[in-house]
Amino acid sequence: MITVDKRYDIIPNDFNFAGRASSDIKRTLKSMHFSREFIKRVSVAAYEAEINIVIHSRGGKAAFKISDDTLYLEFADIGPGIPDIQLAMTPGYSTASDESRLNGFGAGMGFSNILKSVDKMDILSDPNGTVLKLKFDIAEADRDEDR
């Protein structure tokens, strides 16, 4: 059964709105009483992925879905793509602009942080765009926090 199905626009280079989608994802999970631990995992991955679109792409969309025991996040942008995914995954490697760095990003840790948080990650990229699919398994313990 699908319990959540939300979509967000992500605006390129707009550091004021950056993080809005992740913030809504976090608040939604909080209102559904997931455990803090689980919420943090999802939020950190969502935020890094959202920031990636803001600082590197021409814009994109995020989708947030919960179906039974799985939470899915999908981030799709309209290019210019990641020329070398292996290199982009290397901790510390970054092609971020000076403006991104002034906003506290471009440490080259985005993908490392995402990988640490998710249960499964798939990425497809070509010059027309990048699609990042993240999957989180929901365990019984992730659901039981009441606050």
Partner 1 sequence: MTLGQIIEKYKCNVYSRTPFNTEKEIRYAFCSDLMSDALMIMSTVRESGILEDSVLITGLATNQSIRTAEMLDVQIVCLVRGKIPAQQVIDLADESGITLLGTELTMFNLSGRLYQEGIVGIASKK
Contacts 24+ apart (CB under 8 A), 142-147: 142/34, 142/35, 142/37, 142/38, 143/33, 143/34, 143/35, 144/35, 145/33, 145/34, 145/35, 145/36, 146/33, 147/33
Q: What is the DSSP letter of 108?
A: S
Is residue 28 close enough to count as binding partner 1 by CB under 8 A? no
Is residue 122 close enough to count as binding partner 1 by CB under 8 A? no
User: What is the C-alpha to C-alpha distance for residues 45 and 13, in angstroms, rounded to an integer?
Assistant: 19
Site stretch for partner 1 (CB under 8 A), options 73-81, 102-110, 121-129, 130-138 = 102-110
Q: What's the min distance (Å) between Cβ of 93 and partner 1?
A: 12
- Selected binder of partner 1 within 26, 34, 60, 136 (CB under 8 A): 26
| CB contact burial 89-98 (16+ within 10 A = b; e otherwise) | beeeebebee
Angle at CA 109, nearest 5°, toward 119 and 57? 90
Q: How many residues at the interface with partner 1, by CB under 8 A?
A: 29
Site stretch for partner 1 (CB under 8 A), options 5-13, 34-42, 69-77, 123-131 = 34-42
- Selected binder of partner 1 within 103, 115, 131, 133 (CB under 8 A): 103
Is residue 47 close enough to count as binding partner 1 by CB under 8 A? yes
Is residue 8 close enough to count as binding partner 1 by CB under 8 A? no
Residues found near partner 1 in the complex (CB under 8 A): 15-16, 18-19, 22-23, 26, 36-37, 40-41, 43-44, 46-48, 51, 103-110, 112-113, 116-117
